[in-house]
Amino acid sequence: MPPQDHPTWLLDERRALGDRIRERRMWRDLTQEKLAERAGVSRDTVQRIERGTSDPRYSQLARIARALDTPLAELLS
């Protein structure tokens, strides 16, 4: 399903997830590049997730949560 076909609520949820990740990253004083390195994902992946333009995989979110020392459930809530 192309992004333009996603319901508004889903796009809002993605943006909120990206905001929570960005807030925790900045609170830990990490650049996107440093977070990506620690999480084992690409910097582009971190950028897309933070912008809310990506439909991230569970494994990517789990890696990011671990790199942020944050429970995954906290990022998803």
- The ranges assigned to domains in the chain are 7-76
Which fold, 7-76? Answer: 434 Repressor (Amino-terminal Domain) (1.10.260)
For 46-75, what is each residue's pLDDT tens digit? 999 999 999 999 999 999 999 999 999 999
State how far the Cα of 77 lies from the Cα of 72, in Å rounded to an integer: 9
Question: Please, what sign has the CA dihedral across residues 77, 39, 47, 49?
Answer: negative
Own/partner long-range contacts of 3-9 (Cβ < 8 Å, ≥24 apart): 3/53
For 1-31, what is each residue's pLDDT tens digit? 445 677 999 999 999 999 999 999 999 999 9
pTM exceeding the 0.85 threshold for the entire prediction: yes
